Every structure is written in structure tokens, then in C-alpha cells.
Structure 1
């Protein structure tokens, strides 16, 4: 990221053309070609991975593995793969227009006042996400309380409350600057730490008493759903891989990385089309790298739940979630691995929190801008509001956990709501593709086929989840 763009991210007095959300000829830059040249321009996907390789994998995926065994392994792979095309198509529109997702969502009618119906649904989903993110803060606080109890025994109400307060206030202190480069570097470090440890342990399971073999893998790829596991499978599909919130906030990070600014305003020229295709190609690489990261992470968590927890009949529940999940490590490597797991759990839940605070802050502010509360194009005003939400959200999430105190339930509720909103997101993606994305920069036939498959799968998920809410299935 350029120094001038970083100045904007920090709220400095950079010239208007350096605001990543304002497209000007001065910000134009040719896209790199090849993986080597593109590597330093990757980054939004790492923030995405930090969010995905977190609560969904540590809690929802391992819980599903503990419940269903290897039978739903295919669902894990399907869940992570099928949503990528919708994510990429929405990012394509963002890069070509310089507009973030909620601005696009608001263009889809009908409207309720100034707000489109999709953004009304987004606001409702955001309310359930207060519970999900409260579960993430609570899970982090529990892990810290077990590792280093404060004011009482491990997992006592006093110790967990103290750590919940520390986690909430610490998130504010670390992320208040809202510097893009800080967020990207922190996300990368957290992803690397826990991904390496988790994948290594999952690959080492065959050499332990809780090993799995190719027969187990074959059973897991048989495209069946065991009785009693449908609800858990639906929640997992909604929360693992790219969820509605991740595919939405990915657009903000693509803009702040500079992809849209480097493409510049659409003047209809061949040069603009070349730059747009070039930077969309960079985004493809970014999305592919992030897909590899969170797919391997998801598979690792599921395998550990299926191989270690399921045979013992251990399913994570309530505040015992962390101790139940720690058995994946202690039963595999010995008691010494308990500390390793706790450190890893803090890293993986912390990565979700690290990505979620600045991402949700931007989305909330974008929604308020669409409601006319502020001017999104005014970068000083925008950053001031974003910092306000950076303070407020961790406090609200922490209070939500202290009130409910059931991380697994809280995260699964958020996952179900995500599944419903994905349906609306697909509608928005197709609307924006057909009305605003330049036909010259659309994907090829293979991508378009994948986009159709992805969209149909997400629509079916949304319909099923909606029917389930009303007890119709």
C-alpha cells in the first residue's frame, strides 16, 4: 500500500485523490502480471481468512464433526468452495465501480424510505451477529481464563468477566487507528500461527490412537446427511467458508488495498478495460490464496472433531466448549498440549475478532451513510464514525456474551442468520452484475457456470433455513 493511501487510512490530511473510495485519474496504476509480481498486492483475502479461520472452524465445524463423525466431510468441502464465485463476482463489481457492498445492496428495490430491502435484512442479520461475535469474545475470554485465571478459579464468573472486559478493551486499543496495513499484518500473523499448528495436528492424527484411514475419508465423501445432523449441517454451511458478512466486507478491503483506485474511473476506454481485467486478475489470486487457507483450516478442524471427539461422545456445550475442544489436543499429544491448544484457541478466536471489529465498523457506517446520516465520500467524517464503532462494537459484543454465556449457541445462531442473508446477497450480486458491471470485464464461461452453481446452492440454503425458522421443515 502506498504511503499516501496509508495516510488516508490513518485519517491524515492526504489529497482527495488518495482516498481509496474516490476514483480519480491520479490514482491509476497498471496491474502486475504473474504470481511473483502480484504477491505484494495480495491482502484482502488474508483479512478474510483471519475472519473465516476462527469461530466457524473452531466451534461450528468441530461441533459438527463431533456430532456427525466423518459422514459430513463432503459438506465441509462443499461449504467452503461453493460460495467463492459469488464473493468474486461482488468484488468484481466493487473494483470496477469503487463502491462497497452495502452501497450496491441499497440499489436493489423495493425500498423502505432511503434503505433498500436487502440492507434492511442486513441490519436484522447484524443483530444476530451481536450474539455470534459475543460468542467469539466469550470463547477468547474462557481460553484466557483457563490459561491465566484472574480474580478466581479458571472459568469462574469473576475470572471470565475480567477477561471479557480485557478482550473487549484490548480490541479497541489495538484497532482504534484502523490502519489497513496494521489490520492486514495482524491478520496474516494470526492465520499463520494457528493454521500451521492445527493442520499439522490433523495430519498427525493417523499416527495416534485417534487415527483415521481412507475408509473414513470415503465415508465422509458419500454425500449423505445422518439423521439428526441436518440443523448442524445447515448452520455450518452458513458460517464456514465465505459467509454473508465475509463476502460483504471483502469488498471494503479490496477498495482499501487500492484495487479500485488503481483501475480508475470508467471512461469506456480500452485502457480502463485492460486495467480492470488486470486488477480483477489480482483479486482472483487473492481470493484463491484465501480459499486454500480457510479450506485446509476447516478440514483440519472437522477431522479433529470427527476423529477425536466423536468416538468419545464429546460434543462442545456452553462454557465447557474450550475444555471439550482442548481434548482434541490433550487426547492426541498428551496433557502438555493443553497449553498449546489454549494459545492456539486464543489466536484463532482472536483472528476472527481482529478482522471483525474493523470490518463490521465499516459496514455499519456504510449503512448509516446510505440512510443519509453521514457522507461516505468524506473520508475524515467516515473515519470518525468508523472509530466510534470500533469503540462501541467490542463493548456491546462483550456485554452480549456476559448476558447469554453460551458461546456455541451464540455462534450457531449467527450462522443460521448468515445462511438466510446469503440468499439476499445472491440477488444483489446478480442485479449489480446485470445493471452496472461492464460486460467487457465479466468472467468467462467456466466462471459463469460456477457462479450459477454457487448461486443455486446458496438460494437453496437460504430457503431451507428460512423454512426451518418457521418450523415448516
Structure 2
């Protein structure tokens, strides 16, 4: 992915459609590949918290039987992401701006915006868990202060991780975020996939029968809560779909398309840049799915066979058994380096996206002028410091990465249904019929909507404590 097309000062022009920024879209696969990027940033926010910790824990507890849920969780949500991104490109607006038009309104914003605020408060726990996971990996690899995983060591590393994150994002450049996340995701994905391919040559080999059991559509007793958390945190979540529109705008897809002037030329450009976005979504979905399956398979093959289930701050140590038990003790350092890469890149992606969303929210509330570039940049800089510091406090208060991330994951699952409602409304009112002519994409979106609705209802019923087993 090339970053030469990415503006160094994204907030100056990223959300403004000007005639001089219009570009013709690429017409070849190679040309489209050169303009990918937002999906990789999104992948960094997905791979790490959900895949490394929650999905691995699910595999360790349930074995192969919930493999199907990993596949469904990654597949059903991507079509909603694509629909929302298409709307953003055609209208040059952020997801939160779109949500604010969905009735009923509460004050200056729509009800979904207020729901997002509630979600984001809950997600602070999950982001604290990412910092804690990275701190735990650093603590095992190089304790600095005290013993590995001791309170002093974890606190020291959590502070260092937070400070590094803030330092790297001082410029708030999209190109910086894209570069860091691309290399991190590539490194850890290759390590994890290689481990899965090596499993058949170890005492923890899987079989075709294991995969057959995993596709049986069963949910064993005792795994429902973790399964719901996994669905909320693996694959593209509602908050990730929302974030993706900001990355698409800052990459330039909407600017290069230009404002809607009703001409055939603009419609043709829009179709071209939407195809680029769709390829970007597909590539990120493929990486997320392969990585998620890899984590689950290794957890089911290695940890489940030994009745090892990650808990508390020992989650990193337990998960590292996947590597040491198959490749030898030397692999622990390799795993820890990879874990640091993926968790740190997840933290980077969150610390880059969330301040943007809160700045946009303050604009929608009327607290600031979102269209004033200098005000927007100043608020963004402040939030880029304050929010990661808040996540650090969240981690230091709870001290359990897995619990923190499950709290945020359940909240994400509930918010997903609200985003689906918004996407259907925006699709029907603000997307021209010309851009909805692809029948198979429409069918996929409908199927995705049905699956998300059923799973969201299931999640809510579980959260309120209803017994769905019929017992």
C-alpha cells in the first residue's frame, strides 16, 4: 500500500470536498491495490484485542465446536461495513454525522449518537485491556522493575506503552497510523498462520474430524457468554464500521470522487472509488478471518487439549504456551514480540480513531465548530493525550485484560443493531439507485442484516439474564 497519496495534514482538507482534489479512479487491479489502506488500519484495531485474547480463550474453553461462530462472526458484519462506507464516499460525511440524522433526535443529535457515547464509555475498559495486554507481554519479556507480571512491572510498562502511543500520534497523520499498523499486522499474521500450518507435525495435531465438529453449529453449555463476547470483538464490530468511514475520508476516497454535481463524470468516478473501497474491505476481511481462525484453531488444538484457559494477567503467559508447546521454549520470545506488535498496533489504531470520533461528536453537539480546521486540530491533539491516559487508568483499576475486553465486546454487540438500523435508513434515503444495482451485494446485505439482528437480540437477552436454554 502506498502512502504517497495520503495528505500529511489530513484534518485540513480530509473532510472537505473541493474540485481541485478530484482524481480519476484506477481501472486495474494493480492500480486499486496501490490505493488500499483504510482496511489495514481497521484490521489493526480488530486483530489483537479480540483475536489474540478473547478468541483464543474461546478456543481453549470450547475446543473446535465453536469454529463456525468464528467464521460467521467475521463474515456477516462486513457487508454492513461496506454499505456504510459507500454512503460516506458518496456524501463526503462521517458515520456519526449520518447517525445524527436518524430519528428520533435527542437534542442536537440522533439517538444512535447517544448510544455510541454509551458504547464508547464501555469500550474504554476494552482499550484499557489492550494496554494491559501489551504491558503484560513487555513485563514477561523485560520486567525492568520487579518480577515479571508484578504490580510494579505491569504499571511501569503500561505507562510506557501509553506514552509511546501518545508520542507517535503527535502529528495525527493518517500516513503514520497506516505505516505502523501495516507492518505490525503483517508480522503477527505470518507468525500465527505459520504456527497453524506447523501443528499437524506436533503432538497437538488437528484432524478433519475436528473441523467437522467445528462446523456443526452447536454452542456447548458454559461457553455462551464468551461466545457472545467473541462475536462482538472479533471481525468488524459496530465501532470499527464507524471508524472505517473516517479512514476512508482521510485516505481520500470521497475527495477524489468530488461533490455530487449530478454529472455522469462524477457518478463514474464514484463507482470507481467505491470499487477501490470494496477491494480494501475484502482484503481486510480476508486478513481478519484468516488470523481469527488461526488463533482459534491454535487455542482449540493446544490449550483445550491441556485444559489451559487464559485468565487475568496470566492470559499472555497462557497463550504463549501455544508457541512453547509446539516450537519449544525459544518460541516464547518470538510470541511475546509478536504479541507486543499486534497489541501495540491495536492501541495505536484506537488512539488515532477515538479522538476523531469524539471531536466530531463535540461538533455535532455544538460545543465546537467541526468545520473550523484549527479548532478541530486543537481538540484532537488534546484528546489524543487525554483518552489514552484514561484507558491507562481503566487498566490499572481493573487489572484484567480479558475481563476488560469482554465488557467492551458485549457493549459492541448491542450497538451493532443500532448501526444496522442507521445503515438501512441512510441507504434508502441518501444513496442513489444507480449505486444499488448490484443484486448479489444487496442479497448479502440482507442476509447479513438478518443474522446481525438475531445475534443482537440473543446478546441482549443474555445480558439481561434470560434463560434461552428452555430449562
TM-score category of the 2 structures, normalised to the smaller one: over 0.9
Equivalent residue for 1:432, pick from 403, 423, 426: 426
1:239-265 C-alpha deviation (Å, 9 max, x unpaired): 100001111100000000100001101
1:74-98 C-alpha deviation (Å, 9 max, x unpaired): 1111111111100000000000011
Q: Distance in 2 between matches of 1:374 and 1:433?
A: 28
Q: Distance in 2 between matches of 1:189 and 1:3?
A: 16
Q: Distance in 2 between matches of 1:7 and 1:359?
A: 16
- Check whether the contact 1:8–1:379 (CA below 8 A) recurs between aligned residues: no
Alignment of 1:389-468 (within 5 A): 389-468=383-462
State whether structure 2 residue 319 is matched by structure 1 residue 318: no
Equivalent residue for 1:285, pick from 279, 288, 291: 279
Corresponding position of 1:34? 28
339-348 vs 379-388, greater mean Cα deviation: 379-388
Equivalent residue for 1:116, pick from 99, 110, 117: 110
- Check whether the contact 1:330–1:338 (CA below 8 A) recurs between aligned residues: yes
Corresponding position of 2:381? 387
Corresponding position of 1:47? 41
227-236 vs 131-140, greater mean Cα deviation: 227-236
- When residues 224 and 373 of structure 1 are mapped into structure 2, their CA distance, relative to the original with a 3 A threshold, is same
Q: Secondary structure at the match of 1:241?
A: coil
Corresponding position of 1:264? 258
Task: Name stretches of at least 5 consecutive residues in structure 2 with no aligned partner.
Answer: none
Q: Distance in 2 between matches of 1:93 and 1:176?
A: 30
Q: Distance in 1 between matches of 2:416 and 2:18?
A: 32
Q: TM-score, normalised by structure 1?
A: 0.97
1:427-448 C-alpha deviation (Å, 9 max, x unpaired): 0000100111122112511000
TM-superposed CA distance for 1:3, in Å, is 7.0
Q: TM-score, normalised by structure 2?
A: 0.97
TM-superposed CA distance for 1:128, in Å, is 0.8
State whether structure 2 residue 347 is matched by structure 1 residue 346: no
- Check whether the contact 1:145–1:163 (CA below 8 A) recurs between aligned residues: yes
Corresponding position of 1:334? 328
1:97-145 C-alpha deviation (Å, 9 max, x unpaired): 1101000011101111112110111000001111000000001001101
Q: Secondary structure at the match of 1:32?
A: coil
Equivalent residue for 1:138, pick from 132, 138, 148: 132
Q: Distance in 2 between matches of 1:72 and 1:3?
A: 42
Corresponding position of 2:54? 60
Equivalent residue for 1:471, pick from 461, 465, 470: 465
1:315-344 C-alpha deviation (Å, 9 max, x unpaired): 100011111111011111111111111111
Q: Distance in 1 between matches of 2:47 and 2:339?
A: 11
Q: Distance in 2 between matches of 1:350 and 1:3?
A: 24
Corresponding position of 1:241? 235
Q: Secondary structure at the match of 2:221?
A: coil
Corresponding position of 1:74? 68
Q: Distance in 2 between matches of 1:75 and 1:5?
A: 36
TM-superposed CA distance for 1:367, in Å, is 1.0
Corresponding position of 1:169? 163
Q: Secondary structure at the match of 1:41?
A: coil
- Check whether the contact 2:6–2:174 (CA below 8 A) recurs between aligned residues: no
Q: Secondary structure at the match of 1:223?
A: coil
Corresponding position of 1:6? 7
Q: Distance in 2 between matches of 1:440 and 1:226?
A: 45
Corresponding position of 1:157? 151
TM-superposed CA distance for 1:2, in Å, is 8.3
Q: Distance in 2 between matches of 1:44 and 1:242?
A: 13
Q: Distance in 1 between matches of 2:26 and 2:369?
A: 33
TM-superposed CA distance for 1:227, in Å, is 1.5
Q: Distance in 2 between matches of 1:3 and 1:446?
A: 34
TM-superposed CA distance for 1:378, in Å, is 2.1
State whether structure 2 residue 191 is matched by structure 1 residue 197: yes
Q: Distance in 2 between matches of 1:413 and 1:406?
A: 11
Q: Distance in 2 between matches of 1:30 and 1:381?
A: 32
Corresponding position of 1:226? 220
Q: Distance in 1 between matches of 2:105 and 2:381?
A: 29
Q: Distance in 1 between matches of 2:465 and 2:394?
A: 26
